[in-house]
């Protein structure tokens, strides 16, 4: 098993690799979301990106529980992730069970077993692209070093999204982010297809899609699109579905 230092180094290496090669935005954000669980002790994590309007959308989550909490914030227009996005400043809250500034989101998060939440803006200069969000299984403050590391991850993710595009190239940036958001919709559809046909949970369905993509050296979004459009060969679909009768 890799040490914390090795995971940390590998995470930044993978983010740096996006600067020199074509990459799958959803897959990279999913990798980062998972690494935040491993490295920062979060029970769940999520990443939100904004569209042109700007409205926030979930592009990566470490689990379906995190995905639902992120969606709950967006639907109710309330929560730490929205505050971090609007202010461009980190929102660190150690105990949602007491003095929560979010009367709707706070109790929902506590009910989900995630009483502490921390949101970090993904931005450069005056432009905020989205937020990186940590949901903790126990109430309590986030260590100062972990706050700094989470914000460093958020900055690195922003650079990955921007790549070689100038920060003021609004049209190209909007196109890239919209493409990522569209890809997320396709991935959600593919998760549903695999989950229903294989009789597994959506988290397991997503794990299979991502494992297939990496094992076959293709983009996650391309795999999802093939599943949804039914263009994937039956033998490959069987790999995703696993053993058993899925007719």
Average pLDDT over residues 171-190: 76
Alpha carbon 220 to its chain's center:
14
Cross-strand bridge partners of residue 50: 56
pTM over 0.85: no
The pLDDT tens digits for 58-96 are 889 999 889 989 999 998 999 999 999 999 999 999 999
d(CA 176, CA 96): 35
Q: Is the pLDDT of residue 174 over 70?
A: no
d(CA 144, CA 44): 19
Higher local confidence (pLDDT), 36 or 172: 36
How confident is the prediction for the chain on average, in pLDDT?
Answer: 87
Given this model, what pLDDT does residue 178 score? 73
The pLDDT tens digits for 95-142 are 999 889 999 999 999 999 999 999 999 987 778 889 999 999 999 999
Taking CA atoms, 47 is separated from 61, 171, 193, 245, in Å, by 6, 22, 23, 36
Given this model, what pLDDT does residue 229 score? 92
Q: Is the pLDDT of residue 36 over 60?
A: yes
CATH code, 4-165: 3.30.450.40
Given this model, what pLDDT does residue 21 score? 63
Nearest by Cα to 65 from 183, 202, 208: 202
User: Which segments of the chain belong to CATH 3.30.450.40?
Assistant: 4-165
Q: How far apart are the first and last CA of the chain?
A: 38
Taking CA atoms, 239 is separated from 194, 201, 215, 230, in Å, by 11, 16, 11, 14
Alpha carbon 129 to its chain's center:
13
Cβ neighbourhood burial of 207 (10 Å; 0-12, 13-18, 19+):
middle
Q: How confident is the model at residue 175 (pLDDT cuts 50, 70, 90)?
A: low
Given this model, what pLDDT does residue 184 score? 83
């Amino acid at each position: 098993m890799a040490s914390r230092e090795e995971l940390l180094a590998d995470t930044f290496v993978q983010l740096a690799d996006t600067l020199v090669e074509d990459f799958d935005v959803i897959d990279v954000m999913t990798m980062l979301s998972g690494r935040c669980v491993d490295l920062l002790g979060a029970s769940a994590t999520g990443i939100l990106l904004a569209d042109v309007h700007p409205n926030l959308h979930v592009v990566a989550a470490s689990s379906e529980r995190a995905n639902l909490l992120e969606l709950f914030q967006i639907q109710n227009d309330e929560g730490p992730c929205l505050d971090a996005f609007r202010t461009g400043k980190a929102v660190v809250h150690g105990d949602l069970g007491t003095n929560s500034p979010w009367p709707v989101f706070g109790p929902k998060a506590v009910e989900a077993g995630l009483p502490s939440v921390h949101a970090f803006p993904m931005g450069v200069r005056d432009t905020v692209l989205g937020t990186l969000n940590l949901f903790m299984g126990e109430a309590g403050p986030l260590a100062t070093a972990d706050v700094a590391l989470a914000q460093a991850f958020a900055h690195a993710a922003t650079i990955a999204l921007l790549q070689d595009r100038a920060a003021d190239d609004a049209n190209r940036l909007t196109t890239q982010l919209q493409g990522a958001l569209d890809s997320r919709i396709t991935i959600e559809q593919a998760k549903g297809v695999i989950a229903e046909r294989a009789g597994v949970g959506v988290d397991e369905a997503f794990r299979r899609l991502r494992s297939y993509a990496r094992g076959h050296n293709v983009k996650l979004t391309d795999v999802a699109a093939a599943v949804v459009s039914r263009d994937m060969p039956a033998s490959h679909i069987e790999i995703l579905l696993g053993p058993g009768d899925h007719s």
